[in-house]
Every structure is written in structure tokens, then in C-alpha cells.
């Protein structure tokens, strides 16, 4: 089947930060496999996979990867063989890893310095077995992942027109970079002035900004548009704590508040960290009376992994 996506809702929330108007775009409500930005990206990858008549999908990610969960789920629905390459350094059992196995994905663990070699070996092995494999980079990286969030930007533009509002800022958690790249490409193509701010959950600058820039320019080049420089990238690494998966008391409190007062679940690794980073950024930069959109990029299973910490924190 071909995967199409209905626009995800944008909700105004009551939480006040410096008297700004706060909205959330609920990507977590995408209907497939607990939703999230990885589902939006996966739809486009699987559409291309079907166009190329591939019958096996191979990807990469940790045991907590939302991307790998979604890919494994859609592959199972389509009756496709699914192989996930996963680093041994992050192979602890999570709700996502349990679901990957439930969906019948084959998990191959390897040392992180052997990832590229393992991917190549698995690709060759599956071809020898008669499969036509399709490889998706970890996190849905690449131009297709970028295009998915160009489409999301168009949804945001439609919401603005229909509701007579203009967002001054769009915040989101920035990881592998294609979500932010797609939003930036949408801004550039629409000649908009709003600021796209990616709150890093792990990567530091200058590397983090450069990865986003490379994704932006790769997509712009594909469209035949002028390339841009780092001045167009606002990738904030002030709130990564001690890196991927780390958190603090303030992040726990933000997640509790959003769940209790708004009924919106977030997790410690991605969305809760990004929302807390946005909150701190707003206060630090003294943003007042602005229309601000936060993109909830999903990860609901991670919320349940975090539940004991949230209850006891």
C-alpha cells in the first residue's frame, strides 16, 4: 500500500512561559506505530521501497530507537523481511526493542566501530539469498527524511492561514538533523522570517550544526536551489546535559507538568529534554509575547521506559 499522512493537529496549551502563546504540533498522534517524526519519515521511505520493488528493509539504530520500531512495524505489516543493525553499547532492553522483536525483525548486534562493515555484509548476504534490500540510514537520515519535514512545514503554513496566526519561532528536539533540515528548507522555500530552533539532545557544535547544514544543502542541491551557510542554522547545544539519554531534575519536572496539566506525554531522551531546553532558551533570550510552536516529535514508548523515574523523581 502507499502511505499517505493526514496533517497532525496543532494545539494551544495553557502553560505560560514569559507570557508567550505556546502551541504544540502533535506528531506523536500519527496513527502508525505510536507515531512520531520517525513515522512521518518512514512513510516516504516505504513508498520509495515499494516503487523500487524491494522486499527486504535494513536499517540501523539502538535498542531505544523510535525509528527502528516504526520500520520494523511497517515491514511486518507489509510482509517484508526486516534487519536491524544495532550497536552493542546500547543494547539494553526497552519497550522499543521488545516491539522490534515482536514485529519479527532480525536484530544484529555489533561493535560501534564495525557498523559500516556489518551493514555492507548484511546487504551482500541478503542479495545472495535472493532478496532485493532497501537500506534506510539510522534515524531516517537523508533527503527523504528532510522532505518529510518540508511537508510538515507546509502543514504548519496551512494552519497559520486557516487560524490567522503567524508563528515567530518553531522549536523541536534536534537529533540526527533531518527534521530540522526539512523545517529550514520549508522556511527558505516559503521566504519566511520565523526562526527554526533545534534543541540538541546529544550532539555538540560545531558538528551538530554542520550535520544539519549538510542535510539542508543536500536537499536544496537536489531541488537546484542556492545553497546556504551556517548562519541559517540555529542548533542549540546548551541543554544536552551529559549527552544522549542524560537528564536532570528540571526535565523530569517539565514532563510531569505537561502530563498533569495538559495530558501530553513526553520522554526524558527527546521531547521532554527539547521542551525543557525551549523553556530555558525563552527565558535566557527574554522572548516575550511571541507565538511559539513546539513540535512534539513522538517517542511514546520511551515515556513508559521512563515512568519509574518520573514517578519517583
Q: Is the pTM of this model over 0.85?
A: yes
Can you give the pLDDT at residue 313?
Answer: 59
Angle at 204 between CA 203 and CA 209, to 5 degrees: 90
Can you give the pLDDT at residue 311?
Answer: 85
Question: pLDDT below 70 — which residues of the chain?
Answer: 90-91, 313
Can you give the pLDDT at residue 4?
Answer: 82
* Pairing assessment for the beta strands 81-87 and 56-60 based on DSSP bridges: parallel
Q: What is the pLDDT of residues 101-118, one digit of tens each?
A: 999 999 999 999 999 999
Q: Give per-residue burial for 207-220: e unless 16+ CB within 10 Å, then b.
A: ebbebbbebbbbbb
* E strand residue ranges, 96-190: 106-110, 133-136, 169-174
Torsion sign, CA atoms 100, 106, 111, 113: negative
| CATH class of this structure's domain 10-34+142-312 | alpha beta
- Check: CB of residue 277 under 8 Å from CB of residue 175: no
Can you give the pLDDT at residue 2?
Answer: 80
| CATH class of this structure's domain 38-140 | alpha beta
Can you give the pLDDT at residue 5?
Answer: 86
Q: Where are the domains of the chain?
A: 10-34+142-312, 38-140
Check if 10-34+142-312 and 38-140 are the same fold: yes
Q: Tell me the C-alpha distance between 8 and 30, whole Å.
A: 7
Distances from the Cα of 9 to the Cαs of 23, 127, 188, in angstroms? Answer: 10, 41, 23
* Angle in degrees, 0-180, between the axes of helices 178-190 and 143-163, rounded to the nearest 10: 50
Amino acid at each position: 500500500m502507499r502511505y499517505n499522512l493526514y496533517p497532525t493537529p496543532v494545539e494551544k496549551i495553557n502553560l505560560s512561559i514569559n507570557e508567550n502563546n505556546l502551541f504544540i504540533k502533535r506528531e506523536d498522534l500519527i496513527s502508525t506505530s505510536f507515531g512520531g517524526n520517525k513515522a512521518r519519515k518512514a512513510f516516504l521511505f516505504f513508498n520509495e521501497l515499494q516503487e523500487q520493488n524491494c522486499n527486504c528493509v535494513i536499517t540501523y539504530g539502538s535498542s531505544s530507537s523510535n525509528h527502528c520500531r516504526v520500520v520494523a512495524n511497517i515491514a511486518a505489516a507489509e510482509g517484508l523481511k526486516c534487519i536491524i543493525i544495532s550497536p552493542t553499547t546500547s543494547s539494553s532492553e526497552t519497550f522499543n526493542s521488545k516491539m522490534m522483536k515482536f514485529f519479527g525483525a532480525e536484530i544484529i548486534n555489533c561493535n560501534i566501530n564495525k557498523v559500516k562493515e556489518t551493514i555492507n555484509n548484511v546487504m551482500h548476504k541478503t542479495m545472495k539469498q535472493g532478496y532485493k534490500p532497501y537500506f534506510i540510514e539510522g534515524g531516517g537520515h537523508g533527503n527523504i527524511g528532510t522532505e518529510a519535514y518540508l511537508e510538515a512545514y507546509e502543514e504548519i503554513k496551512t494552519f497559520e492561514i486557516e487560524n490567522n496566526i503567524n508563528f515567530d519561532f518553531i522549536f523541536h528536539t534536534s537529533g540526527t538533523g533531518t527534521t530540522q533540515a526539512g523545517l529550514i528548507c520549508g522556511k527558505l522555500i516559503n521566504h519566511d522570517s520565523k526562526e527554526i530552533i533545534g534543541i540538541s539532545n546529544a550532539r555538540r557544535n560545531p558538528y551538530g550544526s554542520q550535520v544539519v547544514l549538510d542535510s539542508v544543502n543536500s536537499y536544496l542541491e537536489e531541488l537546484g536551489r542556492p545553497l546556504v551557510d551556517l548562519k541559517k542554522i540555529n542548533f542549540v547545544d546548551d541543554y544536552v546535559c551529559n549527552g544522549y539519554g542524560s537528564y536532570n531534575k528540571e526535565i523530569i519536572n517539565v514532563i510531569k507538568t505537561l502530563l498533569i496539566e495538559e495530558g501530553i506525554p513526553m520522554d526524558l531522551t527527546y521531547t521532554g529534554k527539547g521542551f525543557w531546553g525551549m523553556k530555558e532558551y525563552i527565558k535566557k533570550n527574554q522572548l516575550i509575547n511571541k507565538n511559539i510552536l513546539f513540535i512534539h516529535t513522538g517517542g511514546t514508548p520511551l515515556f513508559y521506559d521512563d515512568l519509574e523515574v518520573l514517578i519517583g523523581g
